[in-house]
A and B are shown apart, each in its own frame.
Chain A
Amino acid sequence: MGVLDSKVPSGPLADKWTKHKNEIELVNPANKRNIDVIVVGTGLAGGSAAATMAELGYNVKTFCYQDSPRRAHSIAAQGGVNAAKNYQGDGDSVYRLFYDTVKGGDYRSREANVHRLAEVSTNIIDQCVAQGVPFAREYGGLLDNRSFGGVLVSRTFYAKGQTGQQLLLGAYAAMNRQIQRGKIKSYTRHEMLDLVLVDGKARGIIARNLVTGEIERHSAHAVVIASGGYGNLFFLSTYCMGANVMAAWKAHKRGAFFANPCFTQIHPTCIPVSGDHQSKLTLMSESLRNDGRIWVPKKLEDAKAIREGKLKPTDLAEEDRDYYLERRYPAFGNLVPRDVASRAAKERCDAGYGVNKTGEAVYLDFDAAIMRYGREKALTSGMKNPDDKTVRKLGEEVVEAKYGNLFQMYEKIVDQNPYKTPMMIYPAVHYTMGGLWVDYNLMTTIPGCYAAGEANFSDHGANRLGASALMQGLADGYFVLPYTIGDYLSDDIRTGPIPTETPEFEEAENNVRERIQKLMSAKGEHSVDYYHKKLGKIMWNKCGMARNAKELQEAMDEIAELRKDFWANVKVTGVADGKNQELEKAGRVADFLELGELFAMDALERNESCGGHFREEYQTPEGEALRDDKNFTFVSAWEYKGDPRKAKLHKEELVYENIEVKTRSYK
C-alpha cells in the first residue's frame, strides 16, 4: 500500500468497528487531564468532537472564525439527518444504509468507513434526543421520518427545515457545558493560519485573532481539522461567505495529502442566479423533491415564450410539460440522487428549455402535491364533495406546515409566491466530497493531525446522498474521532505540555507574518472580490457540472496566471494589526487560487465519469456517467510539492469485498 495505509481493521465488515474499538489503546482518565487537543472549526464535526473529547477528560481548545460556535454553516443544512433506525418498518437496516451510501457515492468510497458510519447513525438520533434536540414528531409522540434522494426507504429525521441548526445547537450546548466546566477553551473570531509540526508530528497552530490582528501560538498534542468544505472556490455557492479551505490547505502544505479534490457536489435545487451583483446562492432543501415535480416545457417555442414573459407556466397544459426526471428515471423519479438530477437539469437547459431570463432554470412544481394533500385532508375532515378551491386551500395548509419556512425564504428572494406559481431552481455548488485524506482512524498523513466532517474525504465517494452530511459530521465528532484519537495520544501520556517557544513555532509564525506582509504590501489594482469572482467563473465554466480535458487544461493555466496576477496586483485596504475583513478574505482567496489548480488537475487525471465528476468524454449513449472501474477504483491523494501542478499523486486502491460493484442505475 506504500505511503497510504488506510489501517482498516481485518475481519468481517460488520465486526470491524467493534473489534477495532476493543483493540485500540486507551488513555486513562488521570492522564487525559495532561493532554491537550486543538480543534479547528466548530460546526457539527468540530463542535461534537470538542464536546466529547472534553467529556472524556482531554483539555480542548476550539477555534472558529465566527463570533460564536453556534454560527458554523452546518446550521444551514435544512432537510434532515439519516439514521438506520427503521422506525417506519419499511425494511431499512444498517446494511441498507451502508449499501445506499456506497452506491450513491458511485463506488468511490471506503467500505469499512461507510459501514461504520451506518452503524453509529442510530446512536446519533438517540444522543440528540437525549440532548433535547426537538425533532419533528407524529401525533403518537414518536419521531417522524421522511424520504430523501437516492434511497427507497424513509430514514431521514428532521426538525422542519432547520435540522442543521437544531443539531448544531445540540453540539453547541454540549460544548457550552464543557466550557462552563473549564474543559474547553473557546477562541472565537480566530483563524488558523498555519499548522506547526514538531519532529514530524502536528503539535500546534498559528492563529490570528481577527479582532486585534494579533498572531498567536497555540500548542497541543494533537490537532483536529474540522473546518468544512471548499465549495467557495466557485465564488457562487450555497456556502456561507466565510467558508474557506485555509486550515485544510495549510495542513496540506505541511504534508497532509489532499484527496479527490475534484469531487464536488452540485445541488440540483437552488435558487437560480439573478445577476452579476450576486454574492451567494440559496439552497432549497432536497426534501422539496418529495412533493415537488420537476419539469420544463416540452416545446422549444413555449420555453422561449416563458423566457420572454409572454407565457405563464401555469398556463401550460399537462401534455405540454416534460417531467424529465420521471421520464428518464421511472423508478426514482424526482428523487434521483443529486448528481443525476443536476446533470439532467443542465442537459435540458443546454438544449434550450430553460425557463428564466438567463435560460438557466427549471420548474419545481407543487401543484399536484397541493391538490393531493388537499383531497386527503378534506376526506379526513369528513368533507364529502369539496370544490377545487377548498381542496387547494386545505392542500396549501398542509404544504405550508411541511415546507413553510422554505417557501417563505423563496418568496423573499425571488418575489414570487411558490404556492401559486412553480418555483424556479437550478443547480449550484453545495458540498465537497473531497478533502484531507484520512485513514480509518481519521488521521491524515501527518501524525497527530486529524480531519473530521466535510474537511475529510472519506465517506461519500464521488457523490453524497441527501441528509448524509449531518450524519457524517456527527458520527465523526461524537462517535469516532474521540475514541480513535486515544490510540495515538496513548503515546503522549509522558510528553508534558508542548512548549511554544521553539524554532518550529518561530518558523511557522514568521511564515505567517511574511505572508500577511506580502498581501498588505501588494498595493495593486483590484479588490480581493475581483479575483475571487474571476476564479469562480473559471471553475464554474471549466470545472463545473461537465468537464473535458481541453477545458481542464485551460483552467489550470488560467488559474496559475490569475494567481500570479493576484499576488502582484491585489489591493488589501486597512491594517494588519486590527479588524480587517479584506485581509481575511485575501488570505482565503490566495489558498483557493492554489487549490483550484489542483482541483482541475485531479479532474483531468480522472479519465472517467463518476458521481459528481462528469467528464464529457466518458458517457453512455444516453448521457449517463460512464465509470472505468478497471483503472480508476482508487482515491487520488495528492502530496504537496511546492506548486499545485507539481503535486504528486498517490493512489489508495478501493477494495469492495461486501458489495458487488455495478453500474449505478436509478431507472
Chain B
Amino acid sequence: MKLFLKIWRQKNASTKGKMMEYTLEGIESDMSFLEMLDVLNEDLIARGEEPVEFDHDCREGICGTCSLMINGRPHGPDSRITVCQLHMRSFNDGDTIVIEPWRAKAFPVIKDLIVDRTAFDRIQQAGGYISVNTSGRPVDANAIPIEKDAADASFNAATCIGCGACVAACKNASAMLFTSAKVSQFALLPQGQVEAADRVLNMVRQMDLEGFGNCTNTGACEVECPKGISLENIARMNREYLAASVKG
C-alpha cells in the first residue's frame, strides 16, 4: 500500500519542531506499525537523511516504551494494544497518517517522537513500594492467604506498563490513572496496608509537583489504556487519599 505520513520532527528539547511529510510505498498489511517506520527510516538513510527517532524496545506490547500519537489517538486506532502491536492491516492504501509524540508539559520532547517520561519514575519513587529489605527470611509466602478476588484485582492494577498513554489521552494531561494503579495494587494487598496512608499522600504530591493536570473524570485514559486499567482505580485512590488526609 501507499501511505502519506505527516511526522513530528524536532532536533532536541531546545529546538522548535514541525510536521514533515513523507510518502511511502510498498507497505504490506502484515507489517507492524513500527516495522513500517523501519522501512521509512531505511529509505531516509539511503537518501542520506536522518531517520525518524522513536522509542521502542520489546515490540511485543509489554515494556511500555513505544509512545506514538497516531491520528490523534495514543497507540493508534485499535484498542487494548501498544503501537508495536498495531499492524498495517488497520490502515488502507492511500491513507494519510499523522504521527506525533505524547503531548504533555510533564513529558518534554527529547527528539522527534521521543519524550522524557522520568516524571513517572519520580512518582513511583515517592512511595510506590513496600518497605521490606531483602533478608531471605521474611514470612513464608503462604503465611498470609489473600482472597483470590483481591489478589486478581491487585494484579489487574499492577498490569500498568507505564507507557503514558493515559496522560497523552487526557485533555488535562493528568496522571491519575497511572498513579492510582500503583496505589491500588498495594491498597488491595495486606502487605500494602502498613504504609498505605503515606504512600497515597506522597505519590499524589509528587504527581502534582511534576506538572500533571487534574482529573475531570472524562474517562479518556481508560479507553486508551493498552492494558485496560480501570477508572475504578482512580475512585479507589481518591478514597485512600481522603482517608489518609483525615487521618492526617
Contacts and interface: CB of A to CB of B under 8 A. Distances in A.
Interface in A398-441: 408-409, 412-413, 415
A159 B155 contact: yes
A173 B30 contact: no
Contacts of B151: 134-137, 141
Nearest to A160: B155
Interface stretch (B16-24, B109-117, B165-173): B109-117
Nearest to B81: A412
A479 B136 contact: yes
Contact of A87 (B62, B137, B142, B152): B142
A320 to B, nearest CB: 29
Interface in A118-146: 120, 123, 125-132, 134-143
Given A134-B155, A413-B87, A180 B126 contact: yes
Given A75-B62, A126-B136, A186-B121, 12 more contacts: A67-B55, A129-B191, A132-B154, A172-B124, A173-B128, A176-B124, A240-B63, A280-B59, A409-B60, A478-B134, A529-B38, A573-B45
A75 B63 contact: yes
A162 B62 contact: yes
A493 B121 CA distance: 33
Interface stretch (A47-55, A104-112, A304-312, A325-333): A47-55
A654 to B, nearest CB: 28
Interface stretch (A336-344, A544-552, A578-586, A624-632): A578-586
B46 A482 contact: no
Interface string B174-210: 0000000000011001011000000000000000000
B30 A275 contact: yes
A66 B118 CA distance: 11
Given A71-B57, A73-B58, A138-B148, A176 B125 contact: yes
Interface in B103-152: 110-111, 114, 116-118, 120-121, 124-126, 128-142, 144-148, 151-152
A69 B32 CA distance: 25
Interface string B46-82: 1011110101111111111100000000000010110
B136 A120 contact: yes
A68 B120 contact: yes
19 contacts: A70-B64, A70-B124, A71-B64, A73-B63, A85-B142, A123-B136, A129-B141, A131-B130, A131-B132, A132-B192, A134-B151, A166-B158, A173-B128, A177-B125, A180-B126, A240-B58, A275-B30, A412-B87, A578-B111
Contacts of A159: 155, 158
A279 B40 CA distance: 14
Interface in A150-190: 159-160, 162, 165-166, 169, 172-174, 176-177, 179-180, 186, 188
Top 3 A-B pairs ranked by shortest CB distance? A141-B145, A173-B129, A134-B155
B232 interface: no
Contacts of A140: 145
Interface residues of A, number: 80
B161 interface: yes
A130 B189 CA distance: 10
A655 B106 CA distance: 57
B148 A131 contact: no
Interface string A184-222: 001010000000000000000000000100000000000
Given A130-B132, A415-B89, A274 B159 contact: no
**Interface core residue of A75, A134, A174, A578 (most chain B CB under 10 Å):** A134
A155 B234 CA distance: 36
B93 interface: no
B141 A176 contact: no
A157 to B, nearest CB: 8
Interface of B: 11-12, 28, 30-32, 34-35, 38-39, 42, 44-46, 48-51, 53, 55-65, 78, 80-81, 85, 87, 89, 110-111, 114, 116-118, 120-121, 124-126, 128-142, 144-148, 151-152, 154-155, 158-159, 161-162, 185-186, 189, 191-192
Given A173-B130, A240-B59, A132 B189 contact: yes
Given A68-B117, A132-B130, A85 B141 contact: yes
A581 B51 contact: yes
Contacts of B58: 71, 73, 75-76, 240-241
Given A76-B63, A120-B136, A415 B120 contact: no
**Interface core residue of A141, A166, A274, A283 (most chain B CB under 10 Å):** A141
A12 interface: no
A70 B148 CA distance: 26
Nearest to B55: A67
Contacts of B53: 579, 581
Contact of B146 (A141, A169, A280): A141
A67 B116 contact: yes
Contacts of A87: 142
Given A71-B65, A211-B110, A51 B134 contact: yes
Contact of A132 (B42, B136, B148, B191): B191
Nearest to A283: B60
Given A67-B65, A70-B64, A132-B189, A579 B142 contact: no
Contacts of A103: none
Interface in A420-465: none
A172 B117 CA distance: 16
Contact of B189 (A69, A134, A482): A134
Given A76-B63, A159-B155, A413-B87, A242 B51 contact: no
Interface string A599-616: 000000000000000000
A134 B185 contact: yes
Given A75-B58, A139-B148, A278-B35, A131 B118 contact: no
A177 B158 contact: no
Contacts of A131: 129-130, 132, 191
Interface in A232-283: 238, 240-242, 274-275, 277-280, 282-283
Contacts of A76: 58, 60, 62-63
A241 B41 CA distance: 15
Interface in A526-573: 527, 529, 571, 573
Contacts of A274: 30
Nearest to A87: B142
